[in-house]
Amino acid sequence: MTVEYNAEQKIPYPALWHVLYRSSTPFWDGVKEDKLLLQKCKSCGSFLNPPRPMCPKCQSMEQEWVPATGKGKLYSWVTYQESPHPAFKAPYSAVLIELEEGVRIVSNMVKVKPEELQIGMPVQVTFEKVAEDLILPKFETMS
Ligand SMILES: [Zn+2]
């Protein structure tokens, strides 16, 4: 999964997008293998989320990708009652998960109805193939 940068465009934003996307490539490579990886600063040990080229705490450019436990809790969510796009069948919820590592990521729950969501409910990652070439990390309640 790569995005080609068009140097002819000379527009700052696509250039920035290319850098940010390149920064998250290891995350998406991990997802393809059912692994939830987090970017971690090799200098100060901070997790960098979203992934980025420089640590905001110590300005180090050295990072590594480490496996997350995949466990966490539901921090917050919003439920859409109307579909913004045919690909999203309402009602559905966009959830904010706080992983055990302290990193919060946006995702969706599986096998849980919006009305069953509860702040703090324990969750674990699962991987859902949503298209032929796209797997997304989602979350389910811990059994
Ligand atoms: Zn750092």
Q: Which residues pair with 92 in a beta bridge?
A: 80
Interval between CA 41 and ligand 1 midpoint (Å): 5
* Out of 14-18, 52-56, 99-103, least confident range: 14-18
Q: For residue 12, what pLDDT is reported?
A: 47
- Give me the pLDDT at residue 18, please: 55
| Phi, psi dihedrals of residue 142, rounded to the nearest 5° | -75, 135
Distance (Å) of CA 10 to CA 5, 14, 22: 10, 8, 18
CA distance 25 to 17: 12
CA 89 to chain centre: 20
* The model's pTM: 0.82
Q: What is the distance in A from the centroid of ligand 1 to the CA of 73?
A: 25
Q: In angstroms, what is the span from residue 40 Cα to ligand 1's centroid?
A: 8
Are the C-beta atoms of 25 and 18 separated by less than 8 Å?
A: no
Q: What sign has the CA pseudo-torsion 101, 107, 109, 115?
A: positive
Point out the least confidently predicted range of 4-8, 31-35, 46-50.
Answer: 4-8
**108 CA distance to ligand 1 centroid (A)?**
29
Residue with tokens 């969750």: 123
Cα(7) to ligand 1 centroid in Å equals: 31
Domain chopping of the chain, boundaries: 12-67, 71-141
Identify the band that residue 21 occupies on the pLDDT scale cut at 50, 70 and 90: low
The answer to whether 38 and 71 are in contact (CB under 8 A) is no
CB 39 within 8 A of CB 63: yes
Helix or strand run (H / E) with residue 18: helix 12-32
Which pLDDT does position 3 carry in this prediction?
A: 45
Q: Has residue 102 got a pLDDT over 70?
A: yes
**Residues 41-84 pLDDT 10s:** 999 999 999 898 899 999 999 999 999 999 999 999 999 999 88
Average pLDDT over every residue of 84-98: 88
> What three-state secondary structure class fits 93?
strand
- For residue 48, report the distance from its CA to the centre of ligand 1, in Å: 8
How far does the centroid of ligand 1 lie from the alpha carbon of residue 49, in Å?
12
> What is residue 2's predicted lDDT score, i.e. its pLDDT?
45
